[in-house]
């Protein structure tokens, strides 16, 4: 009997199967790069908010101190 999986586990399983069967798989794991969905999907909403806040603060400081 199959256990019921939640939608996040189903998506991850489908993504892993897609990567495994991809024709680009021959290039190796080092060539594959993650995307923003992978980053945000792996952390909580609080961590994502803090990351966005840090990026905004760094940009504001860069403009104020003329780092750019």
Backbone CA torsion sign across 21, 23, 24, 26: positive
1: three-class secondary structure by DSSP = coil
- In sequence order, what are the residues at sequence separation of 6 or more whose Cβ sits closer than 8 angstroms to the Cβ of residue 5? 13
Alpha-carbon span 68 to 64, nearest angstrom: 10
Q: Helix (H, G, I), strand (E, B), or coil: what is residue 29? A: helix
Residue range 37-51, pLDDT digits in tens: 666 677 788 888 898
14 or 55: which carries more pLDDT confidence? 55
**Is the CB of residue 48 less than 8 Å from the CB of residue 40?**
yes
Unique residue bearing structure tokens 């504001």: 60
> pTM to 2 decimals?
0.42
């Amino acid at each position: 009997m199959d256990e019921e999986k939640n939608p996040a586990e189903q998506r991850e399983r489908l993504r892993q199967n897609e990567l495994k069967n991809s024709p680009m798989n021959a290039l190796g794991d080092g060539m594959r790069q993650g995307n923003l969905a992978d980053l945000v999907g792996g952390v909580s909403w609080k961590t994502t908010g803090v990351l966005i806040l840090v990026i905004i603060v760094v940009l504001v400081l860069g403009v104020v101190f003329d780092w750019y």
